[in-house]
Chain A
Amino acid sequence: MTDLPMPQNPAAAQPAQKSSLLSQDDRTRRRNAAEKRFRSYGAAAIGLALAALVVLMITIISAGSGAFRQTYLSIPVALNAEQLDPEGNRDPAEMSKVLTLRYGSVLDSALAAAVENTGIQIEGLSDREIKGLISREAAAQVRNRVLADPELVGQTIELDVLVNGRVDGYFKGRVTMASAARDANTSPEQLMLADALAERGMLVTRFNWNFVTNPDASDQRPEAAGVGVAILGSLYMMLVVLFLAVPIGVAASIYLEEFAPKNRWTDIIEVNISNLAAVPSIVFGILGLAAFINFAGLPQSAPIVGGLVLTLMTLPTIIISTRAALKAVPPSIRDAALGVGASRMQSVFHHVLPLAMPGILTGTIIGLAQALGETAPLLLIGMVAFVREFPGAPPEGLFDPASALPVQVYNWTQRADPAFIERASGAIIVLLVFLLCMNLLAIWLRRRFERRW
Chain B
Amino acid sequence: MNDMSVLERAVSQQDIKISARKVQVYYGDKHALKDVDVDILDKTVTAFIGPSGCGKSTFLRCINRMNDTIPAARVEGEIRLDGEDVYDRRVDPVQLRAKVGMVFQKPNPFPKSIYDNVAYGPRIHGLARNRAELDEIVEKSLRGAALWNEVKDRLGEPGTGLSGGQQQRLCIARAVATSPEVLLMDEPCSALDPIATAQVEELIDELRSRFSVVIVTHSMQQAARVSQKTAFFHLGNLVEYGETDDIFTKPQDSRTEAYISGRIG
Q: Mark B88-109, 1 if CB is under 8 A from A, else 0.
A: 0000001111100111101011
Looking at the assembled complex, report how far the CB atom of A411 sits from the nearest CB atom of chain B, in whole angstroms.
49
Segment at the A interface, from B44-52, B64-72, B129-137, B205-213:
B64-72
A333 in contact with B175 given A341-B98, A342-B94 (CB within 8 Å): no
A339 in contact with B124 (CB, 8 Å): no
Interface size class of A (residues with CB under 8 A): 20 to 34
B204 CB, min distance to chain A CBs, angstroms: 17
Beta-carbon contact of A335 and B121 below 8 Å:
no
A337 and B104 contact, CB distance less than 8 A: no
Interface contact B66-A338, CB-CB below 8 Å: yes
Within 8 A of B (CB), among A33-78: none
Chain A CB within 8 A of B160 CB? yes
Contact between A341 and B97, CB atoms less than 8 A apart? yes
- Residue pair B110, A339 in contact (C-beta under 8 Å): no
Asked whether, in the complex, the Cβ of B108 is within 8 Å of the Cβ of A341, the reply is no
A403 to B104 CA separation, bound complex (whole angstroms): 57
**Complex partner residue of A339 from B64, B111, B161, CB under 8 angstroms:** B64
Q: Are B104 and A339 interface neighbours, CB within 8 A?
A: yes
A-B contact count (CB 8 A): 71
Q: Select the residue from B101, B106, B110, B121 with max chain A CB neighbours within 10 A.
A: B110
What residue of chain A has the Cβ atom nearest to residue B177's Cβ? A340
Q: Is the CB of A339 within 8 A of B101?
A: yes
A262, A333, A453: the one within 8 Å of B71 (CB): A262
A355-B104 in contact (CB<8A): no
- Scan residues 250-291 of chain A and give those whose CB is less than 8 A from a CB of chain B: 261-262
Q: Which of B96, B159, B174 contacts A340 (CB 8 A)?
A: B174
Cβ contact within 8 Å between B178 and A341: yes
Q: Which residue of A lies closest to B118 (CB)?
A: A340
| Residues of A with C-beta under 8 A to B103 | 339
User: Which residue of chain B is the closest to A332 with respect to CB atoms?
Assistant: B108
The interface-forming segment of A296-304, A343-351, A378-386, A420-428 is A343-351
Q: Does B125 sit within 8 A of A, measured CB to CB?
A: yes
Verify A336–B95 contact, CB threshold 8 A: no
With a cutoff of 8 Å between Cβ atoms, the chain B residues found around residue A97 in the complex are none
Contact A335 B66 (CB under 8 A): yes
Question: Do A341 and B66 touch across chains, with their CB atoms under 8 A apart?
Answer: no
CB within 8 Å of A: which of B75-98? 94-98
A336 touches B171 (CB 8 A): yes
Interface size class of B (residues with CB under 8 A): 20 to 34
CB distance from A369 to the nearest CB of B (A): 29
CB–CB A451/B66 < 8 A? no
Q: Which residue on chain B has the smallest CB distance to residue A346?
A: B124
Whether the pair A332, B104 counts as a contact (CB closer than 8 A) is yes
Residue of B nearest to A451 (CB): B111
Are A336 and B110 neighbours in the complex by a CB distance under 8 Å? yes
B248 interface residue per 8 A CB criterion:
no
Residues on B with beta carbons closer than 8 Å to the beta carbon of A350: 120, 124
Residues of A within 8 A of B97 (CB): 338-341
A350 CA to B161 CA, complexed, in Å: 20
B179 to chain A: closest CB distance in Å?
11
Assembled-state Cα–Cα distance A342/B93 (Å): 10
Q: Are B161 and A453 in contact (CB under 8 A)?
A: yes
**What are the interface flags for A300-335 relative to B under an 8 Å C-beta threshold, 1 for contact and 0 otherwise?**
000000000000000000000000000000101111
In the complex the two chains form, is A336's CB within 8 Å of B94's CB?
A: no
Are the C-beta atoms of B111 and A453 separated by less than 8 Å? Answer: yes
B94 interface neighbour in A332, A333, A334, A343, Cβ under 8 Å: A343
**Roughly how many angstroms separate A346 CA and B121 CA in the complex, as a whole number?**
11
When chains A and B are docked, how far (Å) is the Cα of A343 from the Cα of B95? 9
In the complex, which residues of chain B have a beta carbon less than 8 angstroms from the beta carbon of A335?
66, 69, 102, 104, 108
| B242 neighbours in A (Cβ, 8 Å) | none
User: What residues of chain A lie closer than 8 Å to B125, measured between beta carbons?
Assistant: 341
| Neighbouring B residues of A341 by C-beta, 8 Å | 94-98, 101, 121, 124-125, 178
Most buried by A among B66, B94, B178: B94
User: Is B160 touching A453 in the complex (CB atoms < 8 A)?
Assistant: yes
Would you call B251 an interface residue if the criterion is a C-beta within 8 Å of the partner chain's C-beta atoms? no
Contact A355–B174 (Cβ < 8 Å): no
Residues of chain B contacted by A342 (CB below 8 angstroms): 94, 120-121, 124
- Check if B111 sits within 8 Å of A355, measured CB to CB: yes
Given A332-B106, A451-B111, answer yes or no on A338-B69 (Cβ-Cβ < 8 Å). yes
| A-B CB contact pairs (8 Å), 6 listed | A330-B108, A336-B109, A339-B64, A341-B96, A341-B124, A453-B158
Q: Which residues in B have some Cβ–Cβ distance to A below 8 Å?
A: 64, 66, 69, 71, 94-98, 101-104, 106, 108-111, 120-121, 124-125, 158-161, 171, 174-175, 177-178
Q: Which residues of A contact B (CB under 8 A)?
A: 261-262, 330, 332-343, 346, 350-351, 355, 451, 453
